Amino acid sequence: MNGSRRQADQSASAPEPRGRAVPKTPVALVLYAFAWAVVFWAAIALPSLEDICCFGVLGYKHHVLEYAGSPKIILTGGSNLLFGIDGEKIEKAFNRKVVDMGLCIMFPLSYLFEEIRDSIKPGDIVVLSPEYSSLSKEFERPMVMADILDGYPRAIEWILKCNGCTWEEKGKILIHLRTLGLQKLQYCISHARQIVQHRATWSYNKPNPGLDVLNAHNLNRCGDLVWHLNRPVDPNGIEKKVLIHVPKHMDDYTVTEIDKFADYCRSHGASLVMVPPPVPYSMYLKSKKNIDTVISDGKSKLSIPVLASAERYTFPDGQIYGGHYHLDKIGREIRTERVIADLKPIVSAQGNPQ
């Protein structure tokens, strides 16, 4: 009897149900998430403060790529393209826009592919001309990609998508991006008056002579560097004791990455081809066995055409400007003519735009 009374009392005192309760997110959690969103926004949206070296020109190259239209020719690879191709001459030869996305040897192929993937349209031709070290995973240094963010934070999108680094490495790169955001916010706070008055320098005042060369003012409308063309070649500019890094074989990882991207290009009505990079003839002789093997692997293993032999793209030491893969004005002209000749069958097969 007493038990029944207690149950009745509890039933009477219990509030009537008002439908399913909606859980509320704690205000602190919302504020925490908002704060970090601001930090990452600052990292990506605010001007760079660091010593950005060559990565600052990525923004210009992507602007050229975005507005190129189609059908176009996209050149992708490292600094061998930045220093060693005349995109404007290729444009005239084929009557289609050329975009030179080449910049730096440290970018792995998987990153290069992600960087241009969304810009590939029907009729496009992608010309891959990677330095030899890029044709094997053994020479990849994924964490170096974090440096890209100092000059072009938007690259975090392509870094996170690419297969060039592990999830652990991507996490470390995100931490680097967070640090950049915090630095920029601190700069904003300490320079608030100058920013409002449009007098902020957006710099830690760490000069880098490279910035005088690798900037958008020294690129032509295709994204090629033209600063060095009328400068003399330093006869001691090539360190002949330092060999170029060449793998013994093109590994399965590289073959898979290239073929996957080739499939993507084909599915979007575009073509992917490969052209060997330019190297000094003296370096070619010293690494001839490995270089020839890597190019032979490409011709036998890849699903894309490799348009020439390695030797076709060797040049006298006197036509090399500084780095082993860079060309002076004469070498650049010769290489461009060879690329045009090698691309003619590919362009003819597609048909020239009207």
pLDDT of residue 11: 43
pLDDT at 74: 98
Structure confidence at residue 6 (pLDDT)? 42
Spatial separation of the C-alpha atoms in residues 168 and 51, rounded to whole Å: 25
Q: How far apart are the C-alpha atoms of 219 and 223, rounded to whole Å?
A: 5
Integer Cα distance of 162 and 170 in angstroms = 10
CA 102 to chain centre: 8
Peptide bond preceding 71: is omega within 30 degrees of 0, i.e. cis? yes
Does residue 332 contact residue 228 with C-beta atoms inside 8 Å? no
Q: What pLDDT score does 20 carry?
A: 53
Q: Is this structure's pTM higher than 0.85?
A: no
Residue among 158, 176, 131 nearest 65 (CA): 158
CB 194, CB 202: distance < 8 Å: no
Identify the segments of the chain with pLDDT beneath 70: 1-24, 50-54, 203-212, 237, 239-241, 351-354
Check: CB of residue 112 under 8 Å from CB of residue 328.
no
Q: Residue 14 has which token pair?
A: 């219990």
155: helix, strand or coil: helix
- Measure the CA–CA gap between 238 and 307, rounded to whole angstroms: 27
Length of the chain, in residues: 354
Q: 3-class SS at 261? A: helix
Angstrom distances, CA of residue 131 to CA of 55, 128, 313: 18, 10, 12
